[in-house]
Amino acid sequence: MYRTVVLVITVTSIGNFHTEQPPILAVWGNKDPFFLVPCAEAFKRDNPNAEVHLYDTRHFALETHYPEIAGAIRDSCDRKLAPQVRAA
């Protein structure tokens, strides 16, 4: 089972995401005691194109808010990845 944070694009596989500005979707529990909200907001600071969605939950956001998170992933992919595929 997947837990906590879902990134549509894995930042570590991109290289320097500060300069390349890949599409990023981060979903986060706003009451997570381990991954705090400022950590999520750092994505926006480092990459203005990043989308950060905070959910009213703790550490296991995907377990408690999976319909909303699945919708956010689908919407983000439709907006950010589909145009790239059509252009290829």
pLDDT in tens, 14-65: 456 677 777 888 899 999 999 899 988 888 888 888 899 999 999 889 899 9
d(CA 48, CA 16): 14
Cβ(65)–Cβ(4) below 8 Å? no
What are the DSSP calls for 53-67, one per residue? EEES--S-HHHHSHH
Measured distance between the N- and C-terminal CA atoms of the chain, rounded to whole angstroms: 33
For residue 9, give both structure tokens. 């694009």
- For 2-16, the pLDDT digits (tens) are 344 444 444 444 456
d(CA 73, CA 34): 23
Kindly report the pTM of this predicted structure. Answer: 0.71
Q: Where are the domains of the chain?
A: 11-87
Q: How many Cα atoms within 13 Å fall on the side-chain side of residue 62?
A: 11
- For 63-81, the pLDDT digits (tens) are 999 999 999 999 988 888 7
